[in-house]
């Protein structure tokens, strides 16, 4: 989050590719951790609409205080107001709700992760159509290899929920909303800093989520559970690390790599989540999954390849 803002950087100066890739993987690692903290909240019986709203609202307030302290708040230009409204509608509103409920309906985290991992396929089309991004054959091969590796990592036995079809539909809606979010972020990144974009995105998104918070989030509210340290610790981690910091880094990634190439990193979230779960002792990885991780990593390298002009 403490990155140099777009307003401070010269238009001709860009951060090195190494820093961009490090920032990208750091954001993906934090989002991999978010699965663990989200599972803790769900297991504690906390309503999804409660902790999603609190997470997003806290993240928006934190970024507002940060930008205010460093005098980095830039007012939204009139012509960009519709873009910000649509940006917050895509994510966090649509994406978080559809992903979480879709996962519950499918009853299979494995299949859910595989659906979310299709983001790069849709993002390639958006990058080419809307931003004239160039994708070569090596990039396409890398993306396909990454998806194959991801399938090998997340493939496991799991029960299918009664509302499986509706769950898949909601997950596909989440994928499309993420592509829309990345496309609008790309169009805004030339005029606003990463922290400014995410700040407005979360503050507007919390307004969208507030009615659901009142209607469903407080249903069955138990102050001994909802206000306990066991609940607020993961919420604060999600707000500060997985929202404020990770999304700020992700906006910089989209700006510098484009919609198509940046999306391949987001598809690696299931892989990072599996590795983190293995490190923490929550899950064991077999040889097939380790091979999948190696294939995914090689695919990511190929997906970022650019031919140098002679």
Sign of CA dihedral 205, 206, 208, 209: positive
User: What is residue 68's predicted lDDT score, i.e. its pLDDT?
Assistant: 93
The domain of 129 spans 17-136+160-259
Mean pLDDT to the nearest integer, 86-101: 90
Q: What's the pLDDT tens digit per position in 145-190?
A: 877 877 776 665 455 556 777 887 888 898 889 888 988 998 998 8
User: What is residue 5's predicted lDDT score, i.e. its pLDDT?
Assistant: 42
Mean pLDDT to the nearest integer, 78-104: 90
Q: What's the pLDDT tens digit per position in 236-260?
A: 999 999 999 999 999 988 888 888 7
Which range, 54-63, 103-112, 154-163, 219-228, is most confident? 54-63
Q: What's the pLDDT tens digit per position in 258-278?
A: 887 787 777 777 778 778 878
User: What is residue 208's predicted lDDT score, i.e. its pLDDT?
Assistant: 96
Bigger pLDDT: 79 vs 116: 79
User: What is residue 114's predicted lDDT score, i.e. its pLDDT?
Assistant: 65
Q: Does the pLDDT value for residue 309 go beyond 70?
A: no
Q: Does the pLDDT value for residue 104 go beyond 90?
A: no
User: Distance between CA atoms of 59 and 53, rounded to whole angstroms?
Assistant: 10
User: Distance between CA atoms of 259 and 23, rounded to whole angstroms?
Assistant: 16
How many C-beta atoms surround the C-beta of residue 246 within 10 A? Answer: 23
User: What is residue 103's predicted lDDT score, i.e. its pLDDT?
Assistant: 74
Bigger pLDDT: 91 vs 165: 91
Task: Give a yes or no: residue 142 inside a domain.
Answer: no
Q: What's the pLDDT tens digit per position in 23-75?
A: 999 998 898 888 788 878 888 888 989 999 999 999 999 999 999 998 888 99
Q: Minimum mean pLDDT among 20-24, 114-118, 201-205, 208-212: which range?
A: 114-118
Q: Does the pLDDT value for residue 301 go beyond 80?
A: no
Q: What is the mean pLDDT of the chain?
A: 81
Task: Give a yes or no: residue 286 inside a domain.
Answer: no
Q: What's the pLDDT tens digit per position in 131-146?
A: 677 777 777 787 788 7
Q: Does the pLDDT value for residue 1 go beyond 60?
A: no
Q: How many domains does the chain have?
A: 1
Q: CA 18: distance to chain centroid? A: 21
């Amino acid at each position: 989050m403490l990155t140099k803002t777009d307003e401070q950087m010269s238009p001709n100066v860009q951060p090195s590719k190494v820093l961009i890739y490090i920032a990208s993987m750091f954001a993906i690692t934090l989002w991999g951790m978010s699965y663990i903290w989200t599972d803790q909240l769900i297991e504690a019986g906390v309503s999804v609409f409660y902790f999603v709203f609190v997470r997003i609202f806290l993240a928006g307030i934190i970024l507002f205080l940060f930008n205010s302290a460093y005098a980095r708040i830039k007012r939204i230009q009139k012509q960009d107001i519709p873009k910000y409204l649509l940006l917050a509608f895509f994510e966090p509103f649509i994406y978080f709700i559809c992903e979480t409920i879709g996962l519950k309906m499918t009853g299979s985290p494995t299949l859910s992760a595989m659906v979310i991992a299709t983001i790069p396929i849709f993002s390639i089309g958006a990058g080419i159509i809307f931003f004239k991004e160039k994708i070569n054959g090596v990039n396409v091969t890398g993306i396909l290899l990454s998806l194959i590796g991801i399938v090998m990592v997340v493939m496991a036995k799991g029960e299918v929920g009664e509302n499986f079809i509706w769950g898949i539909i909601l997950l596909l809606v989440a994928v499309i909303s993420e592509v829309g979010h990345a496309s609008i972020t790309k169009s805004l990144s030339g005029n606003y800093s990463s922290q400014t974009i995410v700040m407005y995105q979360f503050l507007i998104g919390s307004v969208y989520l507030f009615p659901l918070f009142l209607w469903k989030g407080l249903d069955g509210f138990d102050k001994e559970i909802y206000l306990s340290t066991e609940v607020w610790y993961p919420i604060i981690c999600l707000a500060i690390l997985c929202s404020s910091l990770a999304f700020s880094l992700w906006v910089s990634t989209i700006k510098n790599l484009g919609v198509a190439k940046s999306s391949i990193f987001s598809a690696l979230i299931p892989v990072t989540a599996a590795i983190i779960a293995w490190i923490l002792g929550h899950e064991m990885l077999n040889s097939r999954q380790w091979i999948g991780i190696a294939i995914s990593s090689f695919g990511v390298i190929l997906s970022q390849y650019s031919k140098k002009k002679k």
